[in-house]
C-alpha cells in the first residue's frame, strides 16, 4: 500500500480489532436469536388463533365468512365477524361461540346479515370465554 492511501480507509486491521468485531457480531446474533424465540413463544402461547379462508357474497343482505379456528379442544371461544362495504365501513357484525371440538383446528362458516351490499367478510377477534362466563350463560 502506498503512503498516500494508508489512512484512506481507516486504520489498518489488527488482531484485536478483528476479535472485537467478531465478538460484537456474535453478541448481535445472540440478541437477534433471543428476540426471535421470544416473539415466537408469544405467538404459540396465544390460546386462540384464526385464519380467514374466504367469503361469499350472498346478495345485498348477507355474506358468508369461512375461517379456521385454532384452539385447545376443550376451550370455548367467542369470535366477532365483520362484513364491510367498499368504503371499509361495517355493514354487518355477528358474534359466534364455538364450544369444545374434536380437533384443534376446526373450519367454521357463518352468515353475517348486512344492511347493504358487503364486499368482504373477515374475522375481527376471537377470545377464549372463561369457564365462569360459560357456566353463567348455561
> Can you name the residues that pair with 121 across neighbouring β-strands?
83
Radius of gyration over alpha carbons of the chain, in Å? 27
Mean pLDDT, consecutive 10-residue stretches, the chain (138 aa), reads 62 79 88 80 72 94 96 93 95 95 93 96 93 52
Residue 53 CA to residue 121 CA, distance in Å, equals 10
Please report which helix (H) or strand (E) contains residue 132, including its range: helix 131-137
What's the pTM value of the predicted model, to 2 decimals?
A: 0.64
Residue 108 CA to residue 65 CA, distance in Å, equals 8
CATH number of 48-137: 2.60.40
Per-domain residue ranges for the chain? 3-45, 48-137
Q: Which three cell numbers stand for residue 29?
A: 446474533
Predicted pLDDT of residue 5 = 62
Tell me the backbone φ, ψ of residue 90, rounded to 5 degrees. Answer: -70, 125
Query: Please, which residues have CB within 8 angstroms of residue 129's CB and are 6 or more apart in sequence?
Result: 76, 77, 78, 97
Q: Which three cell numbers stand for residue 94?
A: 355477528
Residue 59 CA to residue 56 CA, distance in Å, equals 9
Predicted pLDDT of residue 19 = 86
Amino acid at each position: 500500500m502506498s503512503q498516500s492511501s494508508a489512512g484512506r480507509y481507516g486504520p489498518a486491521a489488527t488482531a484485536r480489532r478483528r476479535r472485537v468485531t467478531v465478538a460484537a457480531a456474535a453478541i448481535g446474533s445472540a440478541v437477534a436469536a433471543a428476540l426471535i424465540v421470544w416473539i415466537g413463544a408469544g405467538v404459540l402461547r396465544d390460546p386462540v388463533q384464526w385464519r380467514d379462508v374466504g367469503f361469499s357474497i350472498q346478495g345485498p343482505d348477507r355474506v358468508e365468512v369461512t375461517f379456521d379456528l385454532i384452539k385447545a379442544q376443550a376451550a370455548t371461544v367467542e369470535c366477532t365477524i365483520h362484513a364491510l362495504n367498499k368504503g371499509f365501513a361495517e355493514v354487518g357484525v355477528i358474534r359466534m361461540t364455538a364450544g369444545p371440538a374434536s380437533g384443534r383446528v376446526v373450519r367454521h362458516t357463518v352468515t353475517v346479515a348486512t344492511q347493504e351490499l358487503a364486499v368482504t367478510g373477515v374475522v375481527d377477534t376471537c377470545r377464549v370465554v372463561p369457564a365462569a362466563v360459560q357456566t353463567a350463560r348455561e
